[in-house]
Structure 1
Amino acid sequence: MRSIGHFLLFVVLICSCVSQVRGQDGMWNQWRGPNRDGIVPGDNWPDSLSEDVLTRSWRIELPPSYSGPVVSDATVFVTGTADAKTEVVYALDRGTGNTLWQVEWDGAMSVPFFAASNGSWIRATPAFDGENLFVAGMRDVLVSLDAKTGKEQWRVDFVKQLGTRLPAFGFASSPLVDGDSLYVQAGASFIKLDKETGEILWRSLEDDGGMGGSAFSSPIVTELAGQRQLVVQTRQKLAGVDPESGSVLWEHVVPSFRGMNILTPTQFKDGIFTSSYQNKSWLYTADKPNGKFEITETWSNNAKGYMSTPVIIGSHAYLHLQNQRFTCIDLETGERTWTSKPFGKYCSLVAQKDRILALDQRGALLLLKATPEKFELLDERTVSEDDTWAHIAVSGNDVFIRELNALTAWSWKRKGN
């Protein structure tokens, strides 16, 4: 009997592990996906975007938004700004698009005139930890919702609590969940909160030269020179921050035009790649020869990034530029290996092995072959008549596209499906 009991326990444990792995494969739980790098796990993608390969499953109209969809194994979470005054969060059935719940609050604001032509919609992509959904509202407000019911669990208004200014472009940096903690660029600083209570545990990189906390880039957690740390790009610089204490381990100024450091920092070995508007691209390498971090500029080139964070495949970064072209950069040398013709103003990029899906702001979906030899467009298809500024989400066989005024679900139809 004991052996039978042990066997049954073993089966339960195996089933539990398989279930957890499947759940993780089925989740696109935050900005740029499960590992915050735009890399998609799972089966190989087809080589075509034709109607018999990629089919639309459903479409639901929504108020406009820039924030990308977040996906669990059963639910899709999206945001919107209704009537230019109310922020709305929706939980939709992944299979049908039916609304499971929705909540809203007063929270809209207007961005500066030179950016207003593209709208003043909610910007940051929420984060989901399996039970809780963390949503950043434009007016520098962070809200925790029960993912099953939409019930509000806590709310932090950084302007009221910290006495900071309302950020000119709203809360644009997407929250990062790591264990029991939540990290955000808000309140004119970089902040760690207890994700269960919303208590602020520390503030770091305060004010950043008077930019008013309007940070655009989203933080990552990684290891550099043997030390686990948060890497954050403010409007002025890159910095490594200790997750426990909030102390700044290192920092390096990133030249930018009007603080337009928008890309999410991207790691390559012990280096961080970034690129800024009307400037350059750089690889900064971290070393710790005498117990203290040293940051060196390994190389720079004239590739001017804008809003699109690259995907890294092998030793190459595939980046969409300010001039609307794609380029491939050898991260070992800093040399560009090719540059494409122009496309849209913005592309969100995800990758799987040697394939890249690029969602163009004009509503076009591009399928690229990731090769450093030449730009290779495998297929292109219009998937929206509206702009598609929000980041694409891919989970298993499903592709979720946030149109400006709708959400569409698409599905790969593979052989044998």
Structure 2
Amino acid sequence: MVLAALLLCSSAFAADPPVWPQWRGPTRDGVVTGPEWPDKLEGDSLKQLWRIEKLGPSYSGPIVAEDRVFITQTVDKKTELVTAHDRKTGKELWKTSWEGSITVPFFAAKNGSWIRSTPAFDGKTLFVAGIKDLLVAVDGETGKEMWRLDFVKEFDSPPPDFGFVCSPLVDDTGVYVQAGGSLVKADKKTGKVLWRALKDGGGTMGSAFSSPVFARLAGTDQVVVQTRTKLAGVARDTGKELWAKAIPSFRGMNILTPVPVGDDGVFTSTYGGNTRLLRVTSEGGKYDTSDAWTLRYEGNMSTPVVVDGHAYVLGKDRRLLCVNLKTGKEAWGTDERFGDYWSLVANKGKILALDSRGVLYLLNASPKEFDLLGKRKVAESETWAHLAVCGDEIFIRDLTGLTVWRWAGK
């Protein structure tokens, strides 16, 4: 009877559907596990399950729980809205809203003045970043607002010109965000600020666009974050700055999320700067940083995925580049130019890439050559939101709707 009960529990656990709880997926690196993907996207290999039309614009990627999907939108250029939908049908379960709107500077107007950050879900609470430097905690079951933290009021800081762009990072103790011209940890239950670090003043530009990640570097668990001026490691419990390295970029536009590599490496690239692998070491409690290598290539907005020691990154010139992380050498780069932005997800040697022009690409992650397996138009409007891949389901948020696709099989 005991064995039968254990087997039943094991089967129930194994049957839990794959989820996408945060920016860049379950492990925040754009890498998922599960059955191998099919070899093509065309024809009947990819079928639409359901679609929600006439949504307000958003750059937030969909958050996928076991039974529901959360999305955000900006409505009538004045209100931010978060909704929950049944995962099987798309039926709306609840919605919650608040005032939230800015007008971004003219040179960025083509990228819109709507909500940007991808929420995070810890299984109970959804943490949503509003564009006006506002963090809102919402009950995932009911949509009830639990608390909100207004960083402009909290720190008497100027509103961000480009909005709150960083996507929240969550652990058992708190929520980590770049807001108020700093890196902040807030209590999950109350929204109280636990610590504030890396204060750069914000200024007219506001906080950096890059999102923090957890990493274990030089034997220490820490938060790694790229601010407007530097890459840094911060103690998770106290906010103490452990190490920092200046990262040059154009007007502080550090956008993509840094990618931890191995036990001591961090891969990053900047707009107006270069691509590099930073080494972080520690001796006697004293940290040191050095460039393992640098490459004269400008990453722009697209955070890379790492597969078998190679990083795949779409740069400012809209070419896809494969970089050997050990040597820093370019393995290959495409002649073809793509859209301005790619969101990338990897699984078992394959990569799905959603182009901002509404095209989905399927690639072999090969360091020898650009190996395109298939491509498919999946949206008529732009697709700046990060795609979510949960088992055989693909969730794609475009500017006007949300579509769920399913692979029919190999």
Question: Aligned to 1:156, what secondary structure does the other structure show?
Answer: strand
Matches within 5 A, 1:25-174: 26-61=18-53, 62-174=55-167
The alpha-carbon deviation at position 268 of structure 1 amounts to 1.0
Q: Which residue of 2 aligns with 1:238?
A: 231
Q: 1:312 aligns with which of 299, 302, 306?
A: 306
Hey, what's the Cα distance between the residues in 1 that align with 2:14 and 2:238? 32
Hey, what's the Cα distance between the residues in 2 that align with 1:386 and 1:209? 32
**Structure 1 segments of 4 or more deviating over 3 A?**
10-23, 208-213
Question: Aligned to 2:152, what secondary structure does the other structure show?
Answer: helix
Q: Which residue of 2 aligns with 1:375?
A: 370
Hey, what's the Cα distance between the residues in 2 that align with 1:310 and 1:73? 27
The alpha-carbon deviation at position 17 of structure 1 amounts to 5.2
Identity %: 53
Q: 1:327 aligns with which of 321, 329, 339?
A: 321
Letter of the aligned partner of 1:43 in structure 2? P
Question: Aligned to 2:316, what secondary structure does the other structure show?
Answer: coil
Question: Aligned to 1:365, what secondary structure does the other structure show?
Answer: strand
Partner deviation per Cα, 1:265-301 (whole Å, 9 max, x = no partner): 1011110000001221010001112321111111000
Conservation of the 8 A alpha-carbon contact between 1:263 and 1:309 = yes
Most deviating of 127-136 and 207-216: 207-216
Hey, what's the Cα distance between the residues in 2 that align with 1:209 and 1:173? 13
Conservation of the 8 A alpha-carbon contact between 2:182 and 2:202 = no
Hey, what's the Cα distance between the residues in 1 that align with 2:330 and 2:283? 31
Say whether 1:218 aligns with 2:211.
Answer: yes
Q: 2:199 aligns with which of 200, 206, 224?
A: 206
Say whether 1:282 aligns with 2:276.
Answer: yes
TM-score (norm 1): 0.95
Q: 2:242 aligns with which of 228, 249, 255?
A: 249
Q: Alpha carbons of 1:310 and 1:225: their partners in 2 closer, same or farther (altered >3 Å)?
A: same
Question: Aligned to 1:342, what secondary structure does the other structure show?
Answer: coil
Letter of the aligned partner of 1:188 in structure 2? G
Hey, what's the Cα distance between the residues in 1 that align with 2:303 and 2:359? 18
Q: 1:182 aligns with which of 166, 175, 183?
A: 175
Hey, what's the Cα distance between the residues in 1 that align with 2:201 and 2:133? 16
Q: 1:398 aligns with which of 390, 393, 399?
A: 393
Hey, what's the Cα distance between the residues in 2 that align with 1:246 and 1:20? 36
The alpha-carbon deviation at position 209 of structure 1 amounts to 7.0
Hey, what's the Cα distance between the residues in 2 that align with 1:21 and 1:237? 42
Conservation of the 8 A alpha-carbon contact between 2:217 and 2:265 = yes
Say whether 1:260 aligns with 2:230.
Answer: no
The alpha-carbon deviation at position 162 of structure 1 amounts to 1.5
What is the alpha-carbon root mean square deviation over aligned residues?
Answer: 1.4
The alpha-carbon deviation at position 18 of structure 1 amounts to 5.0
Conservation of the 8 A alpha-carbon contact between 1:315 and 1:331 = yes
The alpha-carbon deviation at position 22 of structure 1 amounts to 4.6
TM-score (norm 2): 0.97
The alpha-carbon deviation at position 117 of structure 1 amounts to 1.6
Say whether 1:355 aligns with 2:350.
Answer: yes
Conservation of the 8 A alpha-carbon contact between 1:185 and 1:213 = no
Stretches of structure 1 lacking an aligned partner (at least 5 in a row): none
